[in-house]
Amino acid sequence: MRSFGWLIVLAFLSACGSEPVRDAVDLEPTAPTRKAIDRAHQRKIVAFGDSLTAGFGIGRDEAYPAVLQELVDRDGYPYEVINAGVSGETSAGGVRRLSWTLDEREVAVVILELGGNDGLRGLPPSEMKKNLNLIIDGVEERGIPVLLAGLSAGDDPKDPFIREFVDVYAELARERDVVFLQNFLEGVAGNDELNQRDGKHPNVKGARAVAANVWQTLRPMLEAQ
């Protein structure tokens, strides 16, 4: 069994060499705008992931998808962001619940953030890759573009398992030709000020930084639609 220290590294993979967190001024809430918007006829951006998406420890109203909604509204894009995160979710669990998450909705983009719990459980990276491929298949069969959120282990991870685990995301992005956010936790992982006491999950401020990371990659996808 791998050490607890290794689990922390894998759960919230090293942020060595990360850029500074983006200016929080750009993330001020726009509550009056949000209240005035009728979501019923808006296309959906589905944030499909695990506890990092669900908002473990801070609640769904503070999780990154809620902040992403603020950014979408602020910049005038007519989309509703759906938080489809489930704490503890593995890539296999994502395969099982994909259909009922997407069906009966007009979905514009799926943000795919899964795999961290596979690593924590020591599941083979090859199995994670197979499951993520199945999820991408299911999304693309519905004519929906994918934004794949990856994780980073720094410039030179020593543990071959971590290296193989992280490489899965880049391999998938290349092989499937999907939009790729190389480090979902850029500027957040390893930063005590942006994480909860467990050292794994973003706090409220960290979730806002994650939303800024995602928005930088998501916005050009919406502009192209």
pLDDT in the model for residue 156: 59
Give catalytic status of residue 103 as yes or no: no
- pLDDT string in tens for the chain (225-residue length): 343 333 434 444 433 333 444 443 244 433 434 456 889 899 999 999 999 999 999 999 999 999 999 999 999 999 999 999 999 999 999 999 999 999 999 999 999 999 999 999 999 999 999 999 999 999 999 999 999 999 887 655 678 888 899 999 999 999 999 999 999 999 999 999 999 999 999 999 999 999 999 999 999 999 999
CATH at residue 46: 3.40.50.1110
Give catalytic status of residue 41 as yes or no: no
**Residue 2 placed within a domain:** no
Does residue 191 contact residue 15 with C-beta atoms inside 8 Å? yes
Does residue 126 contact residue 120 with C-beta atoms inside 8 Å? no
Give the range of the structural domain holding residue 85, as residue numbers without chain letter. Answer: 24-223
Q: From the candidates 51, 91, 118, 152, which is the catalytic residue?
A: 51
Count up the domains in the chain and report the number. 1
pLDDT in the model for residue 160: 86
**Residue 10 placed within a domain:** no
Place of tokens 């006829």: 41
**Residue 18 placed within a domain:** no
Give catalytic status of residue 14 as yes or no: no
Does residue 107 contact residue 44 with C-beta atoms inside 8 Å? yes
pLDDT in the model for residue 29: 39
**Residue 12 placed within a domain:** no
**Residue 13 placed within a domain:** no
Phi-psi region of 57 (alpha: psi -120 to 50; beta: other; left: phi over 0): left
**Residue 9 placed within a domain:** no
How far is C-alpha 194 from the geometric centre of its chain's CA atoms?
16
Q: From the candidates 14, 91, 118, 201, which is the catalytic residue?
A: 201
**Residue 3 placed within a domain:** no
Upper half-sphere CA count for residue 51 (Cβ side, 13 Å): 17
**Residue 17 placed within a domain:** no
